[in-house]
Structure 1
Amino acid sequence: MENPLDYLNNLNENDWLIGYDSGQFNQLVQELYLELIQLSAFETPPKIILAERETLRFLASFLAACAANCPVFLCNPDWGTQEWQQVFDLVQPDIVLGIGHGAGEMGRWGDTGTPRIPNAQCPMPNAPYPLIMIPTGGSSGQIKFAIHTWETLIASVQGFTEYFQIKKVNSFCVLPLYHVSGLMQFIRSFTTGGRLAILPFKTLESGKILNIKQSEFFISLVPTQLQRLLENPELTEWLSEFNTVLLGGAPAWEELLEKAKFYRIRLAPTYGMTETASQIATLKPDDFLNGKTSSGQVLPHAKVTIHNQQGEILNSNEIGNITIQAQSLALGYYPIIQENQDNFRVDDLGFLDDQGYLNIVGRSSEKIITGGENIYPAEIESAIRETQLVADICVIGIPDKHWGQALTAIYIPKKSNISTLKIQTLLKDKLSKFKIPKYWIPQQNLPRNSQGKINRQQLEKIAIAYLQNPLK
């Protein structure tokens, strides 16, 4: 394996890291690397929790840990006490780098981390390469860490560059670096000799932009970020000049896609996840602007097959469970490396059309069964958005003693005087009668995480409380 530090020699020290001192970054990496090498000289490499807020220190610490063959766990500094308790119980780290909002009582934090403590009772999986643990989940349940390596991340980069037919990747990153969507932007630029601009999204939204030539850059956004940028005419114009605007993290709604198309945003909707080291399918911008609607074609480093519940491979245009094979697949979830992790069967349902484009129709776990009929919320939500009477919508099933589950729409009306009867009337020509929600619950906002994913468990509680006391 090529050592991560070798890539530093291929970068233009003066300008590859836009907005920061690249020379200072290189020096910091070397210093941290030497410290970690000394710590692990006579013992197994220390397990490192990385929760740095400061960009240079985060990236330098990450590279140094990988180069020194230290297992590194990427963490969100803003996790609460309960989440940090989960992480400490699971990881039992040797070193903590950074400062965590809710972790003050968990350990002694500082610029150089905690002292080394022996953790023989919680050994790392046996592997001859540095392990990179990337968090997944946590929006409504237990935090898990997908186990990646430098090789799985590089495989993702190679698939990306081959798919877009480029050698160097210039990235404008506004997503958190501890998340796979932010980390992979760094990895793409760093390992291909490209340039990297990093700016917090709140700073960008306030109107501050870095001096770059957008036509040479990729930018990655989640749907809620795209929506907010398109509300600002100056930022809309700025965004329209990017080579490619990758869009992922959560399903985008039809109205948002249409708005992006109207402003000629070179959007590239993607499909991927933490376990696949970002996207394994992407719709190219020209396809998007020409009216194509899907998650695009599968990248060269991956293969997607569609199966029925019996495991049989389905033909084109037949909906079934998605199974992924990819060189970028995670090895498992910490602390277990799974043997023969060749086929990753996900919860998503979809189909491959005649041209090999991947189309996502919903999730198996979100399937609602009402009166014996199988319903997937994505279809209902899309139809409701097309009425252009709601600003946001989520369809869930709540327990019902007669029907098993009752279809329930929780939505934000665009105007306060919009009646549910008007929405239902518009849906009659689009949906079967059993697919029109029984209950309609207006809200001022819907609970979404930073990636734009909805918290359905919380929505179910909101719905049940509302229906028990609708006049409250």
Structure 2
Amino acid sequence: MASISMGNPLVYLEKGANDNWLIGSDSREFYLLTKQLYAELTQNNNLKTPLKIIIAEREPIKLIASFIAATAANCQVFLCNPNWVKAEWEQVFNLVKPDLIWGNLPEIDYKKTQKDTREFTPKFTSSLIMIPTGGTSGKIRFAMHTWKNLMASVRGFQQYFSLEQVNSFCILPLYHVSGLMQFMRSFTTGGKLVISTLKLLENGERYEIQPEEFFISLVPTQLQRLLEKPDLTTWLSRFQTALLGGAPAWLELLETSRNYGIRLAPTYGMTETASQIATLKPEEFLAGNNTIGQVLPHAKVVIKGENGEILGTNQTGTISIKADSLALGYYPELFANQEEFQLDDLGFIDENRDLKIVGRNSNKIITGGENVFPNEVEAAILSTQMVEDICVIGLPDSQWGEIVTAIYVPKSSNVNIGNLKIAIEDKLSKFKCPKKWIAVESLPRSVQGKINRQLLQQNYRTEVLTTNQFCVTNE
């Protein structure tokens, strides 16, 4: 049996055994199921290597019970999206080669993958928690975390918001870091937790809670949908804090939220850092601040120049992170630098120590020698309220090298390129304005709201190159 200490999930399980902390669900069922699964895993403790367990449960109680049981039993736990298709599951199985599967998966020839003869170099005495990331780019990876990493994120959140208990209203997937950390905050601090979905909210399910005592976490597309219904907007405005992350939010969305008095807290973080490492407090948001706030106590952000030098206030460069919540690596490899995580994101820290994200270096478009960041162009187009969705990419062009290309979903059939051009001409410099516009019915987004920019780039770039011509520009 695994030893029980404050670093063990079973401590928190026992502390909440008699509490009705899972609102809308059966807390006792969770407790009993977790104990049962833990007993099954630890009845044979002569295993020389930790069991590798894939968890792909659709039912929330089963998922979190499986997660706690497997983590407490010092297993290598792989949280997975049960909605992955067969090709994605084959990719996962070739990488993981699991010993045990909890959940219903599509029919795959597992015989090829069940025996793992690889030597896994890193040796750990505690469980590893693998959280999926990178699936939208076509290659699924797992960020390797430990219980200690995740708890560092929880403690940083508590300290930043000066809280003892954290009550969470979760409508994000529990297998994703954004949903998992909401569970972790409530489970380990003695707080209450609601597990729901956006669809249930839109259908009128509210639960018996006082929103003023709860945090809710949203991605921008979810926030947009909630704001389209007056009753949900009023309900959302009652929450203690509405954390917003997962993808960049456009200015119009922020302004609308502010006008409705929603206590929004834009955040910045990723799977590799066990969710947020910077957050804007709601009071500052309501006062007009449009940054993503200050860095949480468990993390440190450094802005670096092209040669690796540390930049000063208001100087834009690449973002580098040091954090107690930083992942160990991508399974099964450790990060070469365990102390610092170098990102592709560009940003700066202003005179108030607030962090501002400019965009991604890899998404940068160089057109006629000028640098254009898609985030800024997308925000300007969204602010016109003429499009439902937008993604800006660079496509090859014989004259400009690359041209700024807007792939958009129009709000109505009356929206045309001429109207859009006029609407943004006073919002962007001329070189930043799209030269090519492509209307589509929908854009590929993940459940966290992130656009699959790589897929769009690949599809339209391939189309340009296979036709043996560059894009026709309007100038």
**TM-score normalised according to structure 1 size:** 0.93
Deviation for aligned residue 1:389 = 2.7
Q: Which moved more, 1:454-463 or 1:126-135?
A: 454-463
* 1:137 and 2:138 correspond: no
Q: Deviations over 1:18-71 (max 9, x none)?
A: 122212211111111111112443432211011111111111111111111011
Residue identity in the other structure for 1:62: F
* Contact persistence 1:441–1:463 (CA under 8 A): no
For residue 30 of structure 2, what is the aligned residue in structure 1? 25
Q: C-alpha separation between the residues in 1 aligned to 2:29 and 2:128?
A: 26
For residue 180 of structure 2, what is the aligned residue in structure 1? 183
User: Residues 141 and 122 from structure 1, CA distance in 2 versus in 1: closer, same or farther, beyond 3 angstroms?
Assistant: farther
Q: C-alpha separation between the residues in 1 aligned to 2:268 and 2:122?
A: 29
Deviation for aligned residue 1:124 = 6.7
Deviation for aligned residue 1:13 = 2.0
Alignment partner for residue 315 of structure 2, among 292, 315, 318?
318
Q: Which moved more, 1:290-299 or 1:435-444?
A: 435-444
* Contact persistence 1:441–1:466 (CA under 8 A): no
* Contact persistence 1:308–1:314 (CA under 8 A): yes
For residue 329 of structure 1, what is the aligned residue in structure 2? 326
* Contact persistence 1:88–1:106 (CA under 8 A): no
SS of the residue 1:154 aligns to: helix
Q: Deviations over 1:374-431 (max 9, x none)?
A: 2111122222223333232221101112221111111222332233223323433332
Alignment partner for residue 357 of structure 1, among 339, 354, 359?
354
Q: C-alpha separation between the residues in 2 aligned to 1:453 and 1:55?
A: 23
**Runs of 4+ with deviation above 4 angstroms:** 461-470
Between Structure 1 and Structure 2, how many residues are aligned?
461
SS of the residue 2:136 aligns to: coil
SS of the residue 1:270 aligns to: strand
* 1:198 and 2:195 correspond: yes
Residue identity in the other structure for 2:149: T
Deviation for aligned residue 1:444 = 2.3
Deviation for aligned residue 1:357 = 0.5
Q: Which moved more, 1:76-85 or 1:369-378?
A: 369-378
Residue identity in the other structure for 1:182: G
Paired residues for 1:333-412 under 5 Å: 333-338=330-335, 340-412=337-409
* Contact persistence 1:350–1:358 (CA under 8 A): yes
Q: Deviations over 1:439-461 (max 9, x none)?
A: 11122222211111111233235
For residue 112 of structure 1, what is the aligned residue in structure 2? none
User: Residues 55 and 426 from structure 1, CA distance in 2 versus in 1: closer, same or farther, beyond 3 angstroms?
Assistant: closer
Q: C-alpha separation between the residues in 1 aligned to 2:71 and 2:206?
A: 31
Q: Which moved more, 1:426-435 or 1:147-156?
A: 426-435
Alignment partner for residue 416 of structure 2, among 399, 419, 429?
419
**TM-score normalised according to structure 2 size:** 0.93
For residue 90 of structure 2, what is the aligned residue in structure 1? 85
Q: C-alpha separation between the residues in 2 aligned to 1:302 and 1:465?
A: 41
For residue 66 of structure 2, what is the aligned residue in structure 1? 61
* Contact persistence 1:368–1:375 (CA under 8 A): yes
For residue 73 of structure 1, what is the aligned residue in structure 2? 78
Q: C-alpha separation between the residues in 2 aligned to 1:173 and 1:57?
A: 16
For residue 220 of structure 1, what is the aligned residue in structure 2? 217
Q: C-alpha separation between the residues in 2 aligned to 1:415 and 1:121?
A: 55
User: Residues 67 and 295 from structure 1, CA distance in 2 versus in 1: closer, same or farther, beyond 3 angstroms?
Assistant: same
User: Residues 377 and 149 from structure 1, CA distance in 2 versus in 1: closer, same or farther, beyond 3 angstroms?
Assistant: same
Residue identity in the other structure for 1:302: A
Alignment partner for residue 107 of structure 2, among 94, 104, 107?
104
* Contact persistence 1:280–1:298 (CA under 8 A): yes
Alignment partner for residue 8 of structure 2, among 3, 7, 10?
3
* Contact persistence 2:80–2:132 (CA under 8 A): yes
SS of the residue 2:43 aligns to: helix
* Contact persistence 2:97–2:114 (CA under 8 A): no
Residue identity in the other structure for 2:453: R
Residue identity in the other structure for 1:5: L
Q: C-alpha separation between the residues in 1 aligned to 2:102 and 2:121?
A: 19
Runs of at least 5 residues in structure 2 that lack an aligned partner in the other structure: none
* Contact persistence 2:93–2:110 (CA under 8 A): no
Q: C-alpha separation between the residues in 1 aligned to 2:378 and 2:120?
A: 46
Q: C-alpha separation between the residues in 2 aligned to 1:266 and 1:27?
A: 37
**Percentage of matched positions with identical amino acids:** 58
* 1:208 and 2:205 correspond: yes
* 1:154 and 2:151 correspond: yes
Deviation for aligned residue 1:12 = 5.8
Alignment partner for residue 289 of structure 1, among 286, 295, 311?
286
Deviation for aligned residue 1:352 = 0.4
* Contact persistence 2:215–2:240 (CA under 8 A): yes
SS of the residue 1:391 aligns to: strand
Alignment partner for residue 234 of structure 1, among 222, 231, 241?
231
Q: C-alpha separation between the residues in 1 aligned to 2:374 and 2:364?
A: 7
User: Residues 192 and 42 from structure 1, CA distance in 2 versus in 1: closer, same or farther, beyond 3 angstroms?
Assistant: same
User: Residues 97 and 12 from structure 1, CA distance in 2 versus in 1: closer, same or farther, beyond 3 angstroms?
Assistant: closer
SS of the residue 2:375 aligns to: helix
Q: Which moved more, 1:302-311 or 1:458-467?
A: 458-467
Q: Deviations over 1:260-294 (max 9, x none)?
A: 11211111110000000000000111111111101
Deviation for aligned residue 1:77 = 0.6
Alignment partner for residue 454 of structure 2, among 440, 452, 457?
457
